[in-house]
């Protein structure tokens, strides 16, 4: 008999396609470069590409670990940054990833990178159904977005406002 029959597909073993926490954090860190390009070129396409990647990241069960690693990486040279403390307080865990040189090259962290991480934290909090904690975090985040007032933040700000409203819709008392 023939080894393969024409027109018959053999079922292959299922492949575990869920990314590891390290792979997920590397993709988050790679998105920082796209945000840098968006700011340097004043081009929103790069920011939209970053936002499109959120849907695939949110499905991963290792999102919390990846976020804490990304926060530690972004703020490797800014250990006492108030932005880092703000993000870590939302994650309710201290980032303990090693600083491996993935921090921004010029020493300053772009507001776009900060807001992107904050939006990912909003996504995590919403998916984990931590609505009251997410509402508090979102309120503080929206205030910070208003302080920056940058055109390159428009699409990221829209996403943060979206989650702000989602969290507040889930709080009690709900309208009739």
pLDDT of residue 99 exceeding 50, the answer is no
Query: Mean pLDDT lowest for which of 18-22, 55-59, 101-105, 142-146?
Result: 101-105
- CA-wise closest residue to 33 among 53, 19, 62, 18: 53
- Provide CB contacts within 8 A for 171, sequence distance 6+: 131, 132, 135
Q: What is the mean pLDDT of residues 36-51?
A: 93
On whether residue 134 sits in a domain, the answer given is: yes
Summary mean pLDDT of the chain: 85
On whether residue 9 sits in a domain, the answer given is: no
Q: What is the mean pLDDT of residues 142-171?
A: 94
On whether residue 32 sits in a domain, the answer given is: yes
Query: How many structural domains compose the chain?
Result: 1
Range of the domain at 135: 21-95+104-170
Neighbours of 24 (CB within 10 A): 22
On whether residue 176 sits in a domain, the answer given is: no
Confidence of residue 93 (pLDDT cuts 50, 70, 90): low
On whether residue 142 sits in a domain, the answer given is: yes
On whether residue 7 sits in a domain, the answer given is: no
Q: Which residue has the tokens 């910070």?
A: 144
Q: What is the mean pLDDT of residues 50-59?
A: 92
Q: Which residue has the tokens 């390159």?
A: 152
CB 19 within 8 A of CB 60: yes
Report the alpha-carbon distance of residue 163 to residue 120 in Å, rounded: 10
pLDDT of residue 54 exceeding 70, the answer is yes
Q: What is the pLDDT of residue 124?
A: 96
**Cβ-based burial of 172 (10 A; exposed 0-12, middle 13-18, buried ≥19):** exposed
Confidence of residue 149 (pLDDT cuts 50, 70, 90): confident
Confidence of residue 14 (pLDDT cuts 50, 70, 90): low
Q: What is the pLDDT of residue 102?
A: 45
Report the alpha-carbon distance of residue 175 to residue 38 in Å, rounded: 40
Q: What is the mean pLDDT of residues 34-63?
A: 92
Q: What is the mean pLDDT of residues 113-141?
A: 96
pLDDT of residue 95 exceeding 80, the answer is no
On whether residue 13 sits in a domain, the answer given is: no
pLDDT of residue 138 exceeding 90, the answer is yes
On whether residue 4 sits in a domain, the answer given is: no
Report the alpha-carbon distance of residue 57 to residue 91 in Å, rounded: 16
- CA-wise closest residue to 167 among 113, 99, 121: 121
């Amino acid at each position: 008999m023939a080894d393969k029959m024409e027109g018959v597909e053999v079922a292959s073993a299922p492949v575990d396609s869920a990314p590891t926490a390290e792979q997920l954090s590397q993709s988050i860190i790679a998105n920082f470069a796209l945000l840098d390009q968006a700011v340097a070129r004043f081009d929103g396409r790069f920011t939209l590409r970053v936002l499109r990647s959120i849907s695939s990241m949110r499905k991963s069960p290792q999102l919390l670990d990846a976020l804490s690693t990304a926060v530690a990486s972004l703020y490797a040279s800014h250990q006492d940054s108030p932005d880092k403390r703000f993000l870590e307080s939302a994650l309710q865990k201290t980032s303990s990833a090693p600083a491996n040189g993935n921090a921004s090259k010029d020493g300053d962290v772009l507001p776009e990178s900060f807001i992107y991480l904050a939006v990912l934290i909003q996504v995590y909090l919403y998916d984990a159904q931590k609505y009251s904690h997410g509402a508090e975090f979102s309120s503080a985040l929206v205030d910070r977005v208003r302080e920056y007032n940058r055109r390159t933040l428009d699409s990221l700000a829209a996403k943060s406002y979206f989650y702000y409203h989602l969290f507040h819709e889930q709080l009690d008392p709900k309208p009739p």
